[in-house]
Chains A and B, each alone.
Chain A
Amino acid sequence: MNTSPDMSIEIAGIPMRNPVMVASGTFGYGVEYADMVDIGSLGAVVVKGICMEPCDGNLPPRMAEVPSGLVNAIGLQGPGVKGFVENYMPFLRQHKTPVIVNIWGRTIEEYANVAAAFDVVEGIAGLELNISCPNVKEGGVSFGTDLRMAAKVISAVRRSTKLPLIPKLSPNVAGIGAFARMAEDEGADAISLINTLPALVIDVETRRPVLRNGVGGLSGAGIHHFAVKQVWDASRVVSIPVIGMGGIYEPDDALRFLLAGASAVAVGTANFTEPRTAMRVIAGMEDYVQRHEYGSIRDVVGMLQYGQVKP
C-alpha cells in the first residue's frame, strides 16, 4: 500500500494535517528547532506560555533530570504579548502549521486581557489556557485545582476572545472528569491534558531541593500511563475533543492517548532529547493506520477495548 493514509483531523475548529503537536514550553517558539524539525510536518505548534508583560521566571537551577523524566520550575519566563507578536509571529506565520498560543495570567483580569490581545493578532489558530498557575489575588492557590476558580477563568477568557479556546487541565485534582465537564460547560472548544505533576527533587548531600524554586513539575516517561488514564477519564464525560500529552516518546505512546479517547496529542519533554520525535511519531501512526486498515486516524480515537482483556 503506497497511498499515505488520511491523518487529518479538526480540533476546536482548527484543521490539522495530523494529530501530533508539540507541547507548550518544550518547543520554544518553533524557531529554535527550525533547523532540525520540519515545522510544516507538525499538526500544530503550541508555544511557550505567554502573559501580558515580559516575565523573568524563576532563578536557576530550573531543571533537574530524574530517571523517569524531568522536573522543571522554569517559572513561565516569556517575552509578553507584544514581545511575542513582534519577535516570533513573523517566523511562525511563514508556515501553514496552526499556531496555538499558550496563555496564562496572575489574575482573572490578566487572563482575559491576554486573550483579548491575541484576538486581534493575525496568524493565531487558537489559545491554550494554562490554568495551572498560582492566583496572586487569592493567596497563590492554583486556578487549576479549584473548580470554581477554574470556571471563572475559563468563562472570563471565553467572553474575551473569539479564538478557539483550549483549557489545559491540571492533573492535580481529585476528579478530572468534573473539570473536563466544567470546561465544556464554560464554552471550551477542546481541552488538553495533562500538565506536569508536582514534584520535589532532593539532593541528599546538601539536604536541599535541587531546584532553586524548591518544588517543580514532573514530565516525561514517568507520567505517561497516569496521563493516559486522565485522558480516558476526561474524554468519556465530554463531547469536545481532548488533546492528550504526557511522556510521548514513541508512536505507541501517542496511539495510547488516541485509543483512550484523545483526538490529538502533543509531544513534550521528548523534544529535548530527540527534537524529531514528533516526526517519528507521525510516521509510526501512519504505519499503524495502514497496518490495521483503518480508513483514517480519526477511526482510532476511543477504540480502547476496555474490559476485554485477553485471558
Chain B
Amino acid sequence: MQVETGIVQEHFDIGSGYRRLTLSAPTVCPQVKPGQFIHLRVPGLGESLLRRPFSIYRAEAGAISVLYKQVGKGTRELAFLPVGGYADFIGPLGNGFPLPHPENCIPVLVAGGYGVAPLSLLARNMDLKGIVFVGGRTAEDLLCLEDFKEMGWALEVTTEDGSAGLKGRVTDALDAWLSKGQKAIVYACGPDGMLEAIDKRLLQHELPGWLSLDKHMGCGVGACLACVQRVHTEDGGTRWKRCCCDGPIFAAGEIDWEFGKDAS
C-alpha cells in the first residue's frame, strides 16, 4: 500500500456513460492483484472531501486504469481531469480475489455495472477460460463485453428490459447454467442485491465462490470503521469485517445478509 501521484495517460468515454482513466503508477502497478482497488483523490474537489474508491481494471506497463461512471460530485469533477494532469491515489487496497484459480473447475464470473472492471482483470490473470455472465437494466448498462470475447470466454448477457441478450436478471441466466451441475467457482461483483441472490444459489448448489462488495468508504485502509460488513464466524456468531482491508472480496456463505436489516 502506497500513496502515489500518477500522470494521466488517457481519459476517455467508453460508452454506456462510463469513462476510462489511466494513470502512471510505477510503484503501485506491479503490486496489483485482481479485485483490488485504489482510493483516488479527485483533484479540485477540495482538501476536506474524501477520496473515492475505484476497482482496478488494468495494471500493466507501469500504469493502472479504472472505469467509472459519473454519479455525483466527485466523479463529475473527475471527468475534467486532463491528459497530462496529475492525480494521487492510495493503492493497491483490499484483499483481491484468491489466486490461482484451481485447475479442475470452471471459472464463472458474474458482473453487474462496473463489476465487470475487476472481473475483466481477473479473467486476464487466469490461464483457464470459463464463462462470464453480465447483467444490466438495459443494453446501455453493459460494458467490457468485447474484453471477454477477445479473451475467448463464453459470454451470457441479460438485460431486464430485453434490449440486449436474454430478458431477465443475471441470476436467471446463472440458474440455467448452474442447473447443469458442473464443477465451478463463482466470482461476482455488482450491487448488493445481486450478490445476495448469487450467494443463496452458491449455498444451494454447494459451490465455492467469491463476492466483491461495494461499501461507502472513508479512509480506505482500515482506520475509520465506516465500511463494515457483518460476517459469520466459525463459532456460529457474527462480527464486523472492514470492506476496505478485510475485503472487498468475501467468501460465499461468509456474509450475514440479515444483520441489521429490520432493526431500524
| CB of B219 within 8 Å of the partner chain | yes
Which one of A56, A63, A68, A275 lies within 8 Å of B226 (CB-CB)?
A63
With both beta carbons as reference points, the residue of chain A lying nearest to B220 in the complex is identified as A272
Residues of A within 8 A of B11 (CB): none
Smallest CB–CB gap between B114 and chain A, Å? 20
Instruction: Give B contacts to A, CB under 8 Å.
Output: 1-3, 41, 47-51, 90, 215-216, 218-228, 239-240, 245, 260, 263-264
A187 CB within 8 Å of chain B: no
Known contacts A62-B228, A221-B47, A274-B47; A32 and B215 CB within 8 A of each other: no
* Known A35-B2, A36-B2, A212-B260; contact A60-B48, beta-carbon cutoff 8 A: no
Q: Enumerate 30 A-B pairs (CB-CB under 8 Å) in ascending A order.
A: A28-B221, A32-B219, A32-B221, A32-B222, A33-B223, A35-B2, A36-B1, A36-B3, A36-B90, A36-B221, A48-B225, A62-B225, A63-B218, A63-B226, A72-B224, A72-B226, A74-B226, A77-B228, A212-B264, A220-B48, A221-B48, A249-B48, A271-B223, A272-B50, A272-B51, A272-B219, A272-B223, A272-B224, A273-B51, A275-B3
Task: Tell me whether A157 is interfacial, beta carbon within 8 Å.
Answer: no
For the complex of A and B, list the 7 residue pairs with the smallest distance between their C-beta atoms, beginning with the closest.
A28-B223, A63-B226, A221-B48, A59-B260, A32-B223, A32-B222, A272-B219
- The distance in angstroms between the C-alpha atoms of A111 and B68, with both chains bound, is 47
Report yes or no: A275 in contact with B260, Cβ–Cβ below 8 A.
no
Q: Given B3, B47, B50, B226, which contacts A62 in the complex, CB threshold below 8 Å?
A: B226
Q: Contact between A271 and B219 (Cβ–Cβ < 8 Å)?
A: yes
The interface size of chain A toward B, counting residues with CB under 8 Å, comes to 39
Residues of A within 8 A of B218 (CB): 63, 70, 72, 272
- Docked Cα-Cα span, A114 to B75, in Å, equals 44
Query: Which of chain B's residues have a CB closer than 8 A to the CB of A26?
Result: 223-224
Shortest distance between the CB of B247 and any CB in chain A (Å):
13
Question: Which residues of A lie under 8 Å from residue B219 when comparing CB positions?
Answer: 28, 32, 271-272, 275
Residues of A within 8 A of B225 (CB): 48, 57, 62, 74, 77
Q: How far is the CB of B49 from chain A (nearest CB, A)?
A: 6
Q: Which of A35, A56, A274, A276 contacts B1 (CB 8 A)?
A: A35
Query: How distant is the Cα of A88 from the Cα of B169 in the complex, in angstroms?
Result: 45
A52–B227 CA distance with the chains assembled, in angstroms: 24
What residues on A are CB-neighbors of B245 within 8 Å?
Answer: 32
A130→B176 CA distance, assembly (Å): 56
Q: How far is the CB of B51 from chain A (nearest CB, A)?
A: 6
Considering the complex, which residues of chain A in the window 271-287 have a beta carbon less than 8 Å from any beta carbon of chain B?
A: 271-276
- From 64 to 91 in chain A, residues with beta carbon under 8 angstroms from any chain B beta carbon are 65, 67-70, 72, 74, 77
Closest to A69 in B: B48
A12 CB → nearest B CB, Å: 24
Check A27 for interface membership: any CB of B closer than 8 A. yes
Measured CB to CB, the closest approach of chain B to A185, in angstroms, equals: 35
- Report the bound CA distance from A32 to B226 in whole Å: 14
| B226 A60 Cβ-Cβ under 8 A | yes
Task: Say yes or no: is A61 at the interface (Cβ < 8 Å to chain B).
Answer: yes
Distance from B242 Cβ to chain A, minimum over Cβ atoms (Å) = 9
**A273 with B49, Cβ < 8 A, contacts A35-B2, A70-B218 known:** yes
B223 contacts across to A, CB distance below 8 A: 26-28, 32-33, 48, 271-272
A270 within 8 A of B: yes
> In this assembly, does A177 line the interface, its C-beta being within 8 Å of a C-beta of chain B?
no
- B48 to chain A: which residues have CB within 8 Å? 67-69, 220-222, 247, 249, 269-270, 273
Known: A69-B48, A273-B50, A276-B3. A33 touches B228 (CB 8 A): no
